[in-house]
Amino acid sequence: ANIFQTAWTGVNERTFVAVKPDGVQRRLVGLILNRFEQKGFKLVGLKLMQASEGLLKDHYIELREKPFYEHLIRYMSSGPVVAMVWQGFNVVKMARKMLGETNPADSLPGTIRGDFCVDVSRNVVHGSDSIQSARREILLWFRQDELICWDESAEPWIYE
């Protein structure tokens, strides 16, 4: 079955997560991948890329009126990012919890932002904020043939 034809709900729910340029520079990629793997989510897409200004402007289109918008686009294009797609039950909501709040000052210890950053404009990682944004962002960042459908041997130990 084509991954874009299957329903993006239940255990097939997907979200878009990206390690931002500061996260890559600070060698946090492995650690962030590890947290999602350990949680029990399935990796279905992964790539290192230098995001173009066009892609980033599209990605952050809803923030185009914000005073920090241009600054944000510059930050996000200042180096490579690691784009990933994670799949699993409630993955959109749980990934946001694992990331912490937008502002690291409001993020609890134990979250990625709570543990690894202090500045809202250097907050290490992105995660889609809803199922609808996840779908839009995945379609924006990944081609269809870059998302892999695979059987995970641990699945019966992650889901009853």
Stretch that binds ligand UDP, among 28-36, 47-55, 116-124, 150-158 (CB under 6 A): 116-124
Q: Is 120 in the site for ligand UDP (CB under 6 A)?
A: yes
Residue position matching structure tokens 């009853």: 160
For residue 150, CA distances in Å to 5, 45, 112 come to 15, 11, 27
The answer to whether 90 is annotated as binding is no
Q: Is 129 in the site for ligand UDP (CB under 6 A)?
A: yes
Min CB(31)–ligand UDP separation in Å:
18
Min CB(144)–ligand UDP separation in Å:
25
List Cβ<8 Å contacts ≥24 apart for 138-144. 138/14, 138/15, 138/16, 138/45, 138/85, 140/55, 140/58, 140/59, 141/16, 141/18, 141/55, 141/59, 141/83, 142/45, 142/47, 142/83, 142/85, 144/2, 144/3, 144/4
Residue 82 token pair: 């690691």
Site for ligand UDP in 59-88 (CB under 6 A): 63, 68, 72
- Catalytic residue numbers read 126
The answer to whether 96 is annotated as binding is yes
Min CB(34)–ligand UDP separation in Å:
21
Tell me which residues touch ligand UDP (CB under 6 A).
Answer: 63, 68, 72, 102, 120-121, 123, 126, 129
Which residues contribute to the annotated binding site for ATP? 20, 68, 96, 102, 113, 123
